[in-house]
Amino acid sequence: MAAMGTHGTIVVSESFNPEADAKKLRAAMKGIGTNEGAIIEVLAHRTNAQRQLIKEAFKRSFGKNLVDELKSELSGNFEKVVLGLLMPSPVYDAYELKNAIKGAGTEEACLIEILASRSGEEIEAIKATYTKEYGRSLEEDICGDTSGMFQRVLVSLLTAGRDRGSFVNEAQALQDAKDIFEAGEAQWGTDEATFLTVLCVRNRNHLLRVFQEYKRISGRDIEESIKREMSGNLENIFLAIVSCIRKKPAFFAEQLYKSMKGAGTADSTLIRIMVSRAEVDMMYIKPEFAMLCGKSLHSYIKDDTSGDYRTILLELCGGGGK
């Protein structure tokens, strides 16, 4: 169980000893074969900050880079989870965004998921890390790979310009709701820029009030109007923003469900959410998932994955079948 005051399945290991953990990991990789169970036992039960100390202890004790050693021993999706766990959070997000926009095609779902769900402080850290790691501007790379209003929404989110306060201006909330209604349902065509101005800039409490007023004015939830008025990536990003404003764990629960429903598994999404949220709000995501699917996240992962990959994901889920 998570400790009081935390919402993740991974909590601080009280008996933490980075040198001892480094030795365990070294022993797991020595000789013929690899003891994946020992790697899971250590890395899936330490916080991100503790894993960074293990990396330092490993280099100090053995003169080798832990990440390089693991890369040479592991493969496939299990390797992707392990390497993700060893990256500091902004490094991992920057890495995922880089992978989403490099090469042929763009994985828009990754751009949407990360930029719609991270706080202003987190986005500032991701941008700085991206430039440090890759010597490039995240905004320029995203602009080089996207276009139109979808690109404008991404750029707006990248400015981290959302009001970080909690004050609700009642008159402004009513006006925002009217503006969105008049930009969409009340006219032929849709003025998407108005949606951008309100959804990407106002604070969470204010937007929750706007959504209430919008339903009163239009008779519809704002999500329904977005689906009626827009399509493709623009529809997806506005829906993601609204979902994250309403209840972020429910947003991640839905993304996890989409990654595993039907034939095949969208492993990149499954891995990214399990790695990035295990220490943040996984304890809230799990009940949202169960409400959405009528089945536990643990059982979905168990049915959809296999081997060491399954084992480490189940540990990040909190083990135990709950």
pLDDT digits (tens, 9 = 90+) for 222-232: 999 999 999 99
* 94 closest CA partner among 130, 125, 118, 120: 130
In a domain, 112, yes or no: yes
Same domain, 95 and 51: no
Domain presence at residue 223: yes
Q: Are residues 239 and 253 in the same domain?
A: no
| Separation between Cα atoms, residue 18 and residue 60, nearest integer Å | 11
DSSP state of 2: P
* 3-state secondary structure (DSSP) of residue 185: coil
Q: Does some domain include residue 10?
A: no
How many CA atoms within 13 Å lie on the side-chain side of 270? 25
Please state the rounded mean pLDDT for residues 151-161. 97
Count, in order, helices (H) and strands (E) of the chain: 19, 0
Q: Could you tell me the residue range of the domain that residue 153 belongs to?
A: 89-159
- Residue 287 counted as domain residue: yes
Q: Which of 110, 135, 159 is the last residue of a domain?
A: 159
Is the pLDDT assigned to residue 260 strictly greater than 50? Answer: yes
Confirm whether 216 is domain-assigned. yes
1 falls within a domain = no
- Among residues 220, 246, 272, the one where a domain terminates is 246
145 and 99 in one domain? yes
> In angstroms, how far is CA 151 from the centroid of its own chain?
19
pLDDT at 106 exceeding the cut of 60 = yes
End residue of a domain, out of 117, 137, 159: 159
| Claim to verify: residue 206 and residue 227 sit in the same structural domain | yes
| Domain of residue 54, CATH code | 1.10.220.10
The answer to whether residue 3 scores a pLDDT higher than 50 is no
Confidence of residue 103 (pLDDT cuts 50, 70, 90): low
How many domains does one find in the chain?
Answer: 4
Residues 40 and 97 in one domain: no
* Contact predicate 54/22, CB 8 Å: yes
Q: Which two tokens stand for residue 128?
A: 């700085």
Output the average pLDDT for the chain: 94
How many whole angstroms separate alpha carbon 184 and alpha carbon 190? 5
Closest by CA position to 285, among listed 320, 322, 312, 260: 322
Q: Are residues 208 and 232 in the same domain?
A: yes
With CA atoms as reference, report the closest residue to 198 among 161, 234, 166.
Answer: 161
Return the minimum-mean-pLDDT range out of 90-104, 177-191, 204-218: 177-191
Indicate whether 12 belongs to any domain: no
